[in-house]
Structure 1
Amino acid sequence: MSSTAHDLQFTKTLSPEFSELFTDQAKTLLVQLTRQYRPRLEQLLQAREHAQTQYDSGQLPDFDPATAEVRASNWKVAAIPTDLQKRHLEITGPVDRKMIINALNADVDVFMADFEDAQSPTWDGLMQGQINLRDANVGTIEYTDPANGKHYQLKSNPALLIARVRGLHLPEKHLLVDGKPVPGGLVDAVLYYLHNYQTRIANGSGVYFYVPKLQHHSEAQWWQDIFSELEDATQQARGTIRCTVLIETLPAVFQMHEILHSLRHHIVGLNCGRWDYIFSYIKTLRAHADRVLPDRQVVTMNQPFLSAYSRLLIKTCHQRGALAMGGMAAFIPSKNPDENEQILTKVRADKELEFSNGHDGTWIAHPGLAPTVREVIAKHIGDYPNQLHVTRDTDAEITAADLLEPSAGERTEAGMRTNIRVALQYIAAWLSGKGCVPIYGLMEDAATAEISRTSIWQWIQHGKTLSDGRVISKELFRSMLTEEAQIVKAEVGNQRWLNERFETAQTLLEEIATADQLTEFLTLPGYDYL
């Protein structure tokens, strides 16, 4: 079947501004790539379900004997472009116009503009985000805040821009090909690439992506083929597109060599997406009563399974000539000096651990953390662009058992109530179009809400007890949810409670936390409400 621009259907009327994004070339490519790669994507998602069935029946994730040769043989990824070699400090955030300007102006090396976990996937938010990034790349982006008249514009020498596309599980319901949604990540990648590759190449750079939520190297190969198709369609050299893959699912940690190998013409590094990784640990091992996690507040990088994951990622990346990026410090600086000192002490300790392990860079959620993290970087990296020279060759072998090690710690009433309040507030914000939200001193995205609600679900399913001896049941959860909802209502006020769809969020949270089957991603049922 030939693919033409007319074969792309819109379920919303396009504004004149959004129409600029959908050139005939963009529409034709979206139709062609959807027809070519959506069937394969559907098979990949079915393979995920099949693997999960195996885990639910008692199997544990492990290194694949079928790809032992890839792990054992000697190869490296393509050479890293100059402007991607030094990524000591990265900041992340949604594709909101003001936030993009502030992030690019921050004292960081890279801004990751996020179409995924920090962005509620409203049509207007996503399409305006594409326009915002196009303007950022040409350097014309500016914004005047209607609330106070404050004007924002780019400083000279802004941070390097990388865009994170949506995960393979997320559809774009506003675009249809042959009556079915176009994959969300494909929309993000095609539009961003087409509207920015010429600008970025003219500036001596390339088009850079973060790729989230992969579970298997066959999914990496899907992206490898998409990237090659985009380069070929625009007659650009192989490697014009470069990507960093987040290792944020438990199955993927056993596939790191294979993921690097599948994407070797386009990949420059892997990243420890640790909050989603904790969520995936819960989700993947949901049927394993001996591996239920304690309160999320004690599941830190000092837990054996997380320490092993970080060290193995560094060793694997550096063996293959790829960067090993560290995880997120989600803290927001406090105006209270004593509180702020405690926050910065925690951030400093976290980053000391990452850089002493050998990470090449790390993430922050707020520019106010940059000076503290820069001090740690200067101590460990100095003038080096990265730590590719840190091989960890003398480490003891990291085994599957190390990566699956159960975590010690209590399940407390306070921990459960905090999970409820955080999940409720995040889901309400997300349903209202905000994907990145400050909650109790932390900048939260979808990963925190996912950990919070899956922990509760798993505790209920296995009839675990709180530290005071009470069994965690659906009834106990519902009573706590009712009580905590009133506390949140008092905190945010009646007007915001009504405006931000807290009632809907409360209903959705109750449904997914007490369901007999675990909801894979809360963003999927949530998307129906947008």
Structure 2
Amino acid sequence: MRTTTLTTHPNVQIRDQLATEYADIYTPEALAALGFMARLGDKQKRLMDERMRRRAARIRERRPLAFLDPEALIPGTTIRVGDAREGNFIGAEIPLDLRRQWIQGTGPAAKPNAPIESSLRNVAYALLSGADGWMFDGEDALGQITAMSLDNQRSLKRALARDPLFLEVAEQVAGEMNTWARGFLGREIIADWRTQLDRTTVIFRARGLHLDDRHLRVDGRSFSASIVDLTLYVVNNYRALQQRGASLVLYLPKIQTAEEAGFWNHLLSALEGHLGLAEGTIKTYVLVEQLEATFQLMEIRAALGRHFVGYNTGRWDYINSVCDANCWDPGFVNPNIESILMTYGYMRHYEDRVRRAVNTPDTNGNCALWQGGMEPNIPVGSQQGVASSMDKARAGAVREQQAGASGKWVAHWKMVHIVRPVWEAAGEDNQLGRSFPPLGYTEEDAANLTLLEPAPRTVRGARNLLSVALQYGNAFGQGMQAAALKPADFFGNDDILYLMEDMATGEIRVSILWEWIHKGASLTEDDPETGLKAGDLFSAEVFLRLLDEEYAKLLAAGHRDVHEKSKTTTLPIARAIVEAYVLDPVKLPWFIDLLNINLNNTDLGLARQRIADYLAAFKAQGMRITENLDTAPPAGR
């Protein structure tokens, strides 16, 4: 690894010349904090090893997930499980700027291979959108090629500091947004762009505990991306936020257990102590993206204590986790992804548990926020297509508001003013304290979290899964982890809208395809095009035929849908990854792992070797390869 070793913190190494090129991010204060936080990296690695051991044991023993023993202590804490469930812990009061979060947008603050002015446009669109909050993503929606994680940090720092370049960009973007709004909404949406910039609560999503940073190592070893993201964001921005009276807020992704939540609590408290901030200064939402977490919701709240303000209920990541947690069960087979809505079987019960968990008061009577799921639509297409999709978007928002959500997510700034009126009509800032029955912990409650209901499983559904999985893998390789996608058969059909998708869409699509093949899933409908009949198995042979056909469509697609350069570089690698993941009888824990080890690589032969090495390491040792292979030390060193 070509590194810059820091003389003041010799245990921290930064690759190439990034310490100099990003000296505005790797400031002396930030480096001092990273050196301080580095001591916590070993605990992160232990927790991730324990994840893999738990997973392997469940698969080996064919054992479903279960609730914790109410008499036990939450591991790593002094909190009794039963006390957490009853609300016998001290949580957080909701800060003023989080009490009304009707609409939160989400997206990255950086673009691939783009100048700073271009990335700053992302931030300007977000902060001028009219959203109550914006989650600037460092994880699922942020590309990771080159130094994008640092570009993301740079854009946010300059925007929050109200750098003159950002203000220049924001003024221009405000005019463009008003031009769109006059045409689409019949009115302007920004009266005073300077004032509007301070309206939206800034939130940052760090990368999950399962990921390693691509640029920094500690004592020559790979190091937690979570700790890097948390440290750089907080150190570089807490003063600017506090000067405006704004809260310091994070989203924490991919937490699986209350013990992991307790580790996050320790990270937050350690950094607060290092910076001289009061404990609980940093507020956190938790994305409930893992089935295991749904068995421990009150325990997670209690473990995060004064830092915790709310939960978010996503869709794709959660479906993927349910699929993965039941990979050992031949009777658990999902239908078409289009059927698994928030009202479907296990999703309905998942949402219900989150609703009850946030409205269970703590010792001081404080409840928590529930931010609803993602609206991925973009209002771009035919008049009929846009009208139909917007009606569905509003109907989904109405359902969530009536169910008790304090707000929801949108994936594109144009959706803010389309969905926001649902909450404006309701009028209440939030739904804290709304009465719901307490959480149950019976065998029936556990079974409901994996409840399947009859729904189609079709060749059309398989094509959609495959086409989007291939496109997403290709977009990831190009540095666009957030991408507007739809199945290739609908390219050119403006009645079918593109949806904003991120890493989760790739994860769930390959997981369902794996499930169909390795559990002997049968189709529910005839398919005249292939000649397959209802009752036929979705076999590896069927998958390979559809893979060839869907891949050919992408090769033939225009540049708008599939960049020409990618057809001979990242698209073949995306195909190799999808094929390897889906066909291997061993269910891999993360699709993103195979994508990450091939970032900045366009050599198909090298990609195949890296895929093979990953599979071999995982099968032999249960070990995930999570580091940047382009900068890793040679084997044996």
Contact 1:429 1:500 in 2 (8 A): no
Q: SS of the residue aligned with 1:319?
A: coil
Structure 1 segments unaligned to the other structure (5+ residues): none
Deviates more, 1:327-336 or 1:468-477: 468-477
2 CA distance for matches of 1:480 and 1:408? 24
Q: SS of the residue aligned with 1:181?
A: strand
Paired letter, 1:117: D
Aligned to 2:188: none
CA, structure 1 residues 189+396, in 2 after alignment: closer, same or farther (shift >3 Å)?
Answer: closer
Shift of 1:17: 4.2
Shift of 1:53: 2.5
Contact 1:5 1:24 in 2 (8 A): no
Listed one character per residue, the Cα deviations across residues 147-170 of structure 1 (whole Å, up to 9, x for unaligned) are: xxx943764233111000000010
Q: Which of 460, 470, 490 is the aligned partner of 2:536?
A: 470
- Write the mapping of 1:112-511 to structure 2, written as runs, cut at 5 A: 112-140=135-163, 142=165, 151-152=172-173, 155-158=194-197, 159-320=200-361, 321-380=367-426, 382=427, 384-393=428-437, 399-440=445-486, 441-467=498-524, 468=533, 469-493=535-559, 495-498=564-567, 501-511=570-580
2 CA distance for matches of 1:76 and 1:337? 51
Contact 2:284 2:308 in 1 (8 A): yes
CA, structure 1 residues 471+79, in 2 after alignment: closer, same or farther (shift >3 Å)?
Answer: same
2 CA distance for matches of 1:356 and 1:103? 26
Shift of 1:142: 4.6
Q: SS of the residue aligned with 1:208?
A: strand
Aligned to 1:102: 125
Aligned to 2:527: none
Paired letter, 1:29: A
Contact 2:103 2:408 in 1 (8 A): yes
Contact 1:101 1:141 in 2 (8 A): no
- Asked if 1:12 corresponds to 2:12, the answer is no
1 CA distance for matches of 2:548 and 2:298? 46
- Asked if 1:77 corresponds to 2:91, the answer is yes
Paired letter, 2:144: P
2 CA distance for matches of 1:93 and 1:259? 26
Q: SS of the residue aligned with 2:388?
A: helix
Q: SS of the residue aligned with 1:214?
A: coil
Q: Which of 18, 32, 41 is the aligned partner of 1:38?
A: 41
2 CA distance for matches of 1:76 and 1:309? 25
Shift of 1:285: 0.8
TM-score (norm 1): 0.94
1 CA distance for matches of 2:437 and 2:515? 37
Shift of 1:197: 0.7
Paired letter, 2:65: P
CA, structure 1 residues 173+378, in 2 after alignment: closer, same or farther (shift >3 Å)?
Answer: closer
Shift of 1:430: 0.5
2 CA distance for matches of 1:141 and 1:79? 35
CA, structure 1 residues 144+495, in 2 after alignment: closer, same or farther (shift >3 Å)?
Answer: farther
2 CA distance for matches of 1:68 and 1:422? 43
1 CA distance for matches of 2:571 and 2:381? 28
Structure 2 segments unaligned to the other structure (5+ residues): 1-6, 73-80, 111-118, 175-192, 362-366, 487-497, 525-532, 600-637
2 CA distance for matches of 1:264 and 1:157? 32
2 CA distance for matches of 1:304 and 1:76? 33
Contact 2:286 2:312 in 1 (8 A): yes
Contact 2:335 2:457 in 1 (8 A): yes
Q: SS of the residue aligned with 1:162?
A: strand
Contact 1:243 1:268 in 2 (8 A): yes
CA, structure 1 residues 332+500, in 2 after alignment: closer, same or farther (shift >3 Å)?
Answer: farther
Contact 1:95 1:126 in 2 (8 A): no
Percent identical residues: 29
2 CA distance for matches of 1:500 and 1:438? 20
Q: SS of the residue aligned with 2:305?
A: coil
CA, structure 1 residues 151+43, in 2 after alignment: closer, same or farther (shift >3 Å)?
Answer: same
Listed one character per residue, the Cα deviations across residues 108-152 of structure 1 (whole Å, up to 9, x for unaligned) are: 101100000001223421111101001121223756999xxx943
Contact 2:87 2:298 in 1 (8 A): no
Listed one character per residue, the Cα deviations across residues 12-69 of structure 1 (whole Å, up to 9, x for unaligned) are: 22274412211233223223322x2222112211221222234322221122113233
1 CA distance for matches of 2:26 and 2:166? 24
1 CA distance for matches of 2:463 and 2:439? 40
1 CA distance for matches of 2:93 and 2:224? 30
2 CA distance for matches of 1:517 and 1:360? 40
Q: Which of 32, 50, 53 is the aligned partner of 2:53?
A: 50
Contact 1:142 1:151 in 2 (8 A): no
Paired letter, 2:521: K
2 CA distance for matches of 1:43 and 1:236? 28
1 CA distance for matches of 2:289 and 2:92? 23
Shift of 1:232: 0.8
- Asked if 1:91 corresponds to 2:105, the answer is yes
Shift of 1:500: 5.8
2 CA distance for matches of 1:173 and 1:341? 42
TM-score (norm 2): 0.78
CA, structure 1 residues 513+141, in 2 after alignment: closer, same or farther (shift >3 Å)?
Answer: farther
Q: SS of the residue aligned with 1:161?
A: strand
Shift of 1:73: 4.6
Taking only aligned residues, the RMSD between alpha carbons, in angstroms, comes to 2.3
Contact 2:105 2:416 in 1 (8 A): no
Decide which structure has the larger Cα Rg and report it. Answer: 2
State how many pairs are aligned. Answer: 524
Contact 1:216 1:252 in 2 (8 A): yes
Shift of 1:289: 1.9
Q: SS of the residue aligned with 2:126?
A: helix
Shift of 1:216: 0.2
Listed one character per residue, the Cα deviations across residues 152-191 of structure 1 (whole Å, up to 9, x for unaligned) are: 3764233111000000010013211111111011111100
Contact 1:113 1:163 in 2 (8 A): yes
Deviates more, 1:389-398 or 1:518-527: 389-398
